[in-house]
Amino acid sequence: METNERSLTNFLADTSQNVGGAERLASTVAGGALVAYGLKHGGVGGTLISILGGGMLVRGTTGHCHVYDAMGLDTSEAKLRSPFSKGSLLTGKVHVTKSLTINKSADELYHFWRDFENLPKFMRHLESVSSIDGKRSHWIAKAPLGQTVEWDAEITSDIENHRIGWMSLEGATIPNSGVIEFRPTIERGTEVIVTMTYEAPGGKLGEWIAWASGEEPSIQIADDLRRFKMLMETGEIITIEGQPSGREPLPKAMTAKGGF
């Protein structure tokens, strides 16, 4: 196996158990951040967060997660539920599967997703997707420093109300493909299973991580899927961005309703 990322990657690969390389990296980063947050804030809460962060650090550095042990026994279909393979950082290929149940019919979910122009409404890293024809579309994603990455993609499979597959065409900076499946349940809505694969050409792993704005792909996809669920179930995506707090106190004169 080729090694593009030397010491750290070797270390990760050597101890790899059941958590994918990229995800472990994220666990390590997020765990470290939580430990730092906890230590900074102190108190019982801070300690709790630090402990949680420590757990994630261990998971990240050892690559072993008991939850994934259980998930490994899940009804995995080789094609859709590929586990994070050993050494995914080495080959520069990242494969992520996430699922969520959405309380809407497969019909509604399929048709919303099939119109790729809707995707930027809940995929935070996408700026726009425009249709070229019935099968092909042009995607623009946000990149660091206000830059963008663009590519064309083509539908690779399309079974109404069941499945949509797509894949980037020749020339994409980060070759990528995705599959979404819709499985009806009994009175629980529709299970939505998304699998995304990204390829980072040799040596470009660092660039790829930067492209993902420092957010690890499995977390990014889980978040996007959650926003898709919110949008479909409630028509909006819950937020607290823009609400007041004492972190930005105002002088009394600045609010009409201020003053004691």
Partner 1 sequence: MKALCWFGKHDVRIENVADPKILNARDAIVKITSTAICGSDLHLYNGYIPTMEAGDILGHEFMGEVVEVGPEVTNLKVGDRVVVPFTISCGSCFYCKREVWSGCDNTNPNPTVAESLYGYSGAGLFGYSHMMGGFAGGQAEFVRVPFADVGPLKVPDHLPDEQLLFLSDIFPTGYMAAENCNIHPGDTVAVWGAGPVGQFAIKSAYLLGAEQVAIIDHYADRLDVAARENPGVVTINFDEEDVYERLLDITGGRGPDSCIDAVGLESHGTSPDALLDYAKAKLFLATDRPHALRQAIYCCRKGGTVSVPGVYGGFLDKFNFGAAFGKGLTFKMGQTNMHKYMPKLLGEIENGKIDPSFVISHRIKLSEAPMAYERFNEEKDTWRKVVLSPN
Residues that bind partner 1 (CB under 8 A): 41, 43-49, 52, 56, 101, 103, 188-189, 226, 229-230, 233-252, 254-260
Going by C-beta distance under 8 Å and a sequence separation of 6 or more, which residues neighbour residue 167?
153, 154, 156, 176, 177, 178
Q: In angstroms, what is the minimal distance from the CB of 156 to partner 1?
A: 31
Sole residue written with tokens 């994630």: 56
Q: How far is the CB of 232 from partner 1 (least distance, A)?
A: 9
Q: How far is the CB of 256 from partner 1 (least distance, A)?
A: 8
Would you say 23 or 199 has its CB closer to partner 1?
23
Residue spans of alpha helices (H) in 63-104: 66-72, 88-91
**Comparison of 45 and 201: residue with beta carbon closer to partner 1:** 45
- Kindly tell me the sign of the dihedral angle through the C-alpha atoms of 242, 245, 248, 254: positive
Indicate the residue among 147 and 260 with the shorter CB distance to partner 1: 260
Given the complex with partner 1, which of 55 and 175 has the nearer CB atom? 55
CA distance 64 to 67: 9
Structure tokens at 224: 């996007």
Give residues with Cβ within 8 angstroms of 91, minimum separation 6.
1, 2
Q: How far is the CB of 178 from partner 1 (least distance, A)?
A: 23
To partner 1, the closest distance from the beta carbon of 249 in angstroms equals 5
**Cβ contact 140:148 at 8 Å:** yes
Distance of closest approach, residue 191 Cβ to partner 1, in angstroms: 12
Cβ proximity to partner 1: between 49 and 90 the closer is 49
Residues composing the chain: 260
Pairing relationship of beta strands 190-199 and 93-102 according to DSSP bridges: antiparallel
Both tokens of 157, joined, read 């499979």
CB nearer partner 1, residue 76 or residue 234:
234
Q: Which is nearer to partner 1, 170 or 236 (CB)?
A: 236
Residues whose CB is less than 8 angstroms from the CB of residue 183 and which lie 6 or more positions away in sequence, other chains included: 106, 190, 191, 192, 193
Cα 190 to chain center, whole Å?
20
Least Cβ distance, residue 118 to partner 1 (angstroms)? 17
